[in-house]
Structure 1
Amino acid sequence: MPRGRGRVPERLRAAPAALVLALPLLLGAGPGGSGETIPLTGREPGERLDVTLTRLVDPADATAAAAATVDNRLVAVRFRLENTGSVVYKDSPASCAHLLDADGRRFAGLNTDTTAGAAFPETVTLDPGGTTEGFVTFHLPDDAALAAVQFALNGGLADDVGQWSLS
C-alpha cells in the first residue's frame, strides 16, 4: 500500500533517480497509507488541486477491449482530484501522473480501462470546488518493483510535484 508523501522541488526534478526515490525520507515524510492528500499548484495563477491517492491495484487486469494491446503487467492507481483553486482545472490526469520503479525507470500514465475501474477521461474539467475520481494505468515490465507515484498539474510539467512512496 502507498506510504509516505512529499513534494519534489523544481531543482530536483532532473535529479538522479536514487535521490528522487529517497526524497520523501529527506523531506521528513512519515509513514502513512492510501488516502493521503497532497495540495499542488499549477503554472497559472489560481491553479490549485488537492490530489489524493486512494487505491493501488497491482496487477490490474485489462478489460476485454484493452486486452489485445497489453503485453506486460498493468498497475492502476486511483486518484481523487479536488479543485481548490480559483480557476477552472482542465487537464489530462494520465499525462500528469508517473510511476517510478526501484531501478529508477519512469513510466507515463495512460487512459487504459482495467477491471479495477474506469480510467479518467482524456480531459477532465473541474470548476472550483469540483471533485472527481478515476484511475490512471501504467504498463510495466513484469519484474518491475514499484517505488513511487508522482503527480504534477499542467500535463506533468508544473514545478510542484506530489509524490507517494510505494516501498
Structure 2
Amino acid sequence: MRKGIAVAATAGVLVVAGCGGSAHIATKPVVSASVPAPAPTSAAAPPATATAPAPATVGDTVTVRATQQGTTVSVTLIKVVNPAHQGQYQVAPQPGKHYLALQFRVTDTGSAVYSDAPVNCVSVFGSTAEQYAPTVISDLAEGALLGSAGELRLGQHESAVGYVVFEVPDGTKLARILYIPDSGYSTDAAEWTVP
C-alpha cells in the first residue's frame, strides 16, 4: 500500500511540475563573431565573476522557437520610428494619439515553414508598464508593413522586413518590446529594451 501511495504522490508532483510554466523570454542578442577562449589562469588567480549579458536593444537579433516542431525564427528590431506617419490611404490617428512604428527583420532559421500574423506577435510597453497592441493600418509613409494582408509566411532561410504599427497616446515613452511567435501563444519570446 505504501509503495502505491509513493508512486501516486510522485506522479502527482510530476504532473503539477509540468503545468503552469512561464514563458521563456529571450533577451540575449545573437552574437555572430567568435569569441576567443580565455587565457589559462594560474591557481593563485581569483575566480572571474560572470556578468549578465546586456539586454537586447534596437539593432539586435534574438532567436525564438515557435510551438510547431522545427520552427525557429531570428527576429531583428531594425528601428523604432516615433512618431510614424500614415500613408496616403490611411486616416490620421485619433486626437491625442500618434502612430509608432517598429521595423523588424524576421528570418526562418528552423527546418519548417514559419507562418504567422505579425500584428498578433508584437506588443509594446511604455515606461509606466502600460501595454499597447498593434493597430491594423493599410499603409505607412515610412515603408512596407510586415506581412502581406496581415500574414507572414516564410520558407526555410527566407526573410521578410517590414513595420508593425501602434497607435499610442502622445507623450508615451517606449520602454520594452516583445515578439512572441504563434500570434502570441508561444512559450518563447524575444524582448528588447529601448533606452
TM-score band by shorter chain is 0.7 to 0.9
Paired residues of 1:89 and 1:127 also in contact (CA < 8 A): yes
Q: Which among 80, 85, 106 is matched to residue 81 of structure 1? A: 106
For residue 67 of structure 1, give the secondary structure of its aligned residue in structure 2. Answer: coil
Match of 1:133 in 2: 161
Spell out the pairing of 1:80-159 with structure 2 (5 A cutoff).
80-112=105-137, 113-120=139-146, 121=148, 122-159=150-187
1:43 to partner: Cα distance: 1.0
Paired residues of 1:95 and 1:109 also in contact (CA < 8 A): yes
Counterparts of 1:51 and 1:164, CA distance in 2: 10
Deviations for 1:91-121, whole angstroms, at most 9, x for unmatched residues?
Answer: 1111100010011111112342321111122
Counterparts of 2:170 and 2:184, CA distance in 1: 25
TM-score by length of structure 2 reads 0.69
1:86 to partner: Cα distance: 0.9
Letter in 2 for 1:96: C
Counterparts of 2:59 and 2:85, CA distance in 1: 23
Paired residues of 1:98 and 1:109 also in contact (CA < 8 A): yes
From the superposition, tell whether residues 88 and 31 of structure 1 become closer, same or farther in structure 2 (CA, over 3 Å). Answer: closer
1:32 to partner: Cα distance: 6.4
Match of 1:6 in 2: none
Match of 2:65 in 1: 41
1:34 to partner: Cα distance: 2.6
Letter in 2 for 1:159: T
Aligned length: 147
1:60 to partner: Cα distance: 0.3
User: What runs of 5+ residues in structure 1 fail to find an aligned partner?
Assistant: 1-9, 14-19
For residue 22 of structure 2, give the secondary structure of its aligned residue in structure 1. Answer: helix
Counterparts of 2:114 and 2:59, CA distance in 1: 21
* Displaced runs of 4 or more, over 3 A: none
Q: Which among 61, 75, 78 is matched to residue 85 of structure 2? A: 61
Counterparts of 1:55 and 1:82, CA distance in 2: 16
Match of 1:165 in 2: 193
Greater share of residues in strand: 1
From the superposition, tell whether residues 89 and 12 of structure 1 become closer, same or farther in structure 2 (CA, over 3 Å). Answer: closer
Paired residues of 2:57 and 2:194 also in contact (CA < 8 A): no
1:33 to partner: Cα distance: 4.9
For residue 136 of structure 1, give the secondary structure of its aligned residue in structure 2. Answer: strand
**Alignment identity in percent?**
25
Q: Higher relative CO (CA 8 A, sep ≥ 6), structure 1 or 2?
A: 1
